Structure 1
């Protein structure tokens, strides 16, 4: 977490600044020659200090600065430079002491306070850093972001939340502040004040969509669904084009059995480019559960699936197929596996699932057509030969079944279950062809493999 902003200045500028102050120091009356000697000695030592600091000889820089301090003991620039060198030497107590002395001599110079802030950051003394940053804010309002980070680090979440809302109101929201707020609001004790803040913000600016969304989320998180719905309806009234209003209204319509209204809300959400994909998937899943025993919504469900055709994160048609397969609703499972293959013809898993769905529903005509077509695309997949043989056997096309199954055995490696089933189907094919000898041969092979499996 970045807790501070580090500011740099040109070393030469510092020299000029120092020289001006040095020349302005009130000195006791001296002879002209003494003044010249003192000024020359001071400048020589100071330039030497800058040179040594520039080549990272910080201890030598300190020696030169101490000579300067003997000549001008009340010069804040010298204390500041000593602080910087001691900070580089990681002698933090001395660094802080010298920055503090500089700030006492010149309270209007924010760089001296910044030096103290740097020490607190390095030593992780964040509570002391808060005190210093509060003094820096009058110099530059950007330090409020540093203060917010410090409040988060020290877990002063009530102060952090107040400051977040203040900054959001004055300069607009930011991603990091949104993340801070989300972290704070995980604790329910801060949700009440935030709800009040959001209600006030909505009254102040009823066309700001994000405040409604945040308030709906908080009400939903605290199981205040009725209030969440009220806010969603208010959002829809104030901003009729709001897609986010439909996210909440969709759930409201489902809970009330208002299927047509839910479909309308769902379609608006799925079309939206503002709504996150995870929310869209959740809405589709909720509608699927609602519509599973309502065939009048099949067309709406298929339209909804179409919105995910270019979504590579989740293969929605295949997942829907699996959902219906688990319910043993083979017609619908086959329909969605077919849609998946239309979108992704190289999806071998979806192809296997579709062939199994055709088998379970007893549609051997579709099974034969699909399996034979897949063999042209995937001639090395023995499972497709099996489904082709099975389908042709059921259609009493025994010659086609035999040819497919015998070809498939050539590609079979290490799948005993499939080998058993292919031998059984070959036995059925030869039985249909009237070759009893071959029939018994393949049935015996299958039986032998079954017995071998039992021994393992």
Structure 2
């Protein structure tokens, strides 16, 4: 809050009363002036050492000598305010404004009282009068709007102040608080579009608009803004978002990779945009596998990303394309970088091992996961399958029989257990048990139908 210190103005007031004093004897004028000055200086002295009561007594003498002295009333108000005698303080400040309504400091006295007493409607009314004299007081008005939850008015005032005086840290904090409530974002989007038209070389407006579009899941609009930014300010980090897309479409791999690395290493660019950039490059690498090393480097930028497990998502991408060797590489990377006991990632990895016919790592990983999740039947199944494929039929039989007890309401998994047990007994030379388990598998599948 702005606080004003009033330069002593009583000399000017003497000039205003010259015509009245001309009718009085010179000796009387000198005496009255001396008494006023002595009392006024005494009040300042007492206020300076926090003897506010004594200061008030001296100021009352001043007012008795000059009943229409606005400065004395203003000083009187400040002393009452220091004593927290708010009613007296306000009356004194109001008297000062009545005598001199064009002095902003007198109005600021009323504002100080209203703010301290939390009379915010009066504070807003008063600060609006002060703004007429000094527009920078609109920052105080913004604070009052925030306190009283008048966010729409605050947002308008913030944009006006930013436009006229430049941005301030306090205003940016307020603005972010307002925009965290979605209903105000459309108004801000309109404001930013207008600001970009007025000043196309101001990067921050593009970035804020991209952020709002990204937050609202309007990624295409965000990319359009990035494209506009690239045209106006090609050196901007955000401009690389648009340039990357253009380079990819034009099959200019080296330029695209360079732009991508700027995007992924930037602390300014939104994570959603980074993920989209990586995904586009992943699709490109799928068609152009010679750039796989660049994909590896790109993924490293996300090692500390808490929102998305990037390596796992890339593994899923290759999994869906039946490129199981690549899927395995990224699942293993994910488990190495984060928790190696993540259930979903391990199940995906075991399925990829199976499809890639990598039965030794399949069996080893499945047995490890049985120790971690001893009641999860899927891990027993993969351990049994792996042992069967490596002709370790006794081990397969043991682990499959243990795991079958944990299968509940999963017909497909139960049937698969019986098939693998049949294979285990077949490997052990027990044809009767083999047929028994194969028949059980068929019966279970019939139940499913």
Category of TM-score, reference length = shorter chain: 0.5 to 0.7
1:368 is matched with 363
1:387 to 1:84, Cα distance in 2 relative to 1, 3 A? farther
Q: Are the counterparts in 2 of residues 219 and 225 from structure 1 also a CA contact under 8 Å?
A: no
Q: Structure 1 residues 424, 225: CA separation in 2 closer, same or farther (over 3 Å shift)? A: closer
Q: 1:224 to 1:267 in 2, by over 3 A?
A: closer
What are the within-5 Å matches in structure 2 for residues 1-400 of structure 1? 5=1, 7=3, 73-74=67-68, 76-78=71-73, 81-82=76-77, 96-105=90-99, 111-118=105-112, 121=115, 122-125=119-122, 126=124, 128-136=126-134, 143=137, 145-147=139-141, 153=151, 155=153, 160-168=158-166, 174=169, 176-177=171-172, 180=175, 186-187=186-187, 189-199=190-200, 202=201, 210=204, 213=207, 229=227, 231-236=229-234, 239=235, 242-326=236-320, 329-344=323-338, 346-349=340-343, 350-372=345-367, 374=369, 378=372, 380=374, 382=376, 383-400=378-395
* Contact 1:318-1:340 at 8 Å conserved across structures: yes
The Cα shift of 1:266 comes to 0.7
Structure 1 residue 404 displacement after superposition: 2.9
> How many angstroms does 1:337 deviate by?
1.0
How many angstroms does 1:339 deviate by? 1.6
Contact 1:133-1:146 within 8 A present in 2 as well: no
- How many residues of Structure 1 are paired with residues of Structure 2 in the alignment? 413
- 354 and 192 in structure 1: CA distance in 2 versus 1, 3 angstrom threshold: closer
State whether residues 113 and 136 of structure 1, in contact with CA within 8 Å, keep that contact through their aligned partners in structure 2: no
State the 1:354 CA deviation. 0.5
Post-superposition offset of 1:429: 1.1
Asked if 1:405 corresponds to 2:400, the answer is yes
C-alpha separation in 2, matches of 1:51 and 1:276: 54
Q: Distance in 1 between matches of 2:191 and 2:266?
A: 31
Are residues 185 and 423 of structure 1, via their aligned partners in 2, closer, same or farther at CA, if it must alter by over 3 Å? closer
Cα distance in 2 for residues equivalent to 1:112 and 1:198: 39
Structure-2 change in CA distance of 1:77 and 1:444 (3 Å): farther
Pick one of 408, 429, 432 that aligns with 1:434: 429
**Cα shift at 1:355:** 0.4
Q: TM-score, normalised by structure 1?
A: 0.66
- SS of the residue aligned with 1:135? coil
Shift of the 343–96 alpha-carbon distance from structure 1 to 2, 3 Å rule, reads same
Question: Shift of the alpha carbon at 1:197?
Answer: 3.1
CA contact 2:93–2:110 (8 Å) conserved in 1 = yes
Q: Is the 8 A contact 2:354 2:362 kept in 1?
A: yes
Displacement of 1:280: 2.0
Deviations 1:79-135 (A, max 9, x none): 6545885895776xx865532322454679755322222356523353552222342
**Pair 1:392–1:447, CA change in 2 (3 A):** same
Please give the per-residue CA displacement for 1:294-338, whole angstroms capped at 9, x wherever unaligned.
444434323311222233442211122234445555444333212
Provide the rounded CA distance (Å) in 2 between the counterparts of 1:223 and 1:379. Answer: 45
Q: Give the Å deviation of 1:6.
A: 5.9
SS in 2 for 1:243: coil
Structure 1 residue runs of 5 or longer lacking an equivalent are 55-60, 203-207
Query: How much has 1:196 moved relative to structure 2?
Result: 3.3
Q: Per-residue deviation at 1:146? A: 2.7
Alpha-carbon separation, structure 2, partners of 1:312 and 1:296: 29
Separation in 1, partners of 2:440, 2:209: 69
Q: Do the aligned residues in 2 keep the contact of 1:65 with 1:82 (CA within 8 Å)?
A: no
Deviates more, 1:393-402 or 1:365-374: 365-374
Once the two structures are TM-superposed, the CA of residue 195 in structure 1 deviates from its matched residue by 1.8
RMSD: 5.6
C-alpha distance in 2 between matches for 1:53 and 1:268? 63
- In 2, are the aligned partners of 1:68 and 1:78 still within 8 Å (CA)? no
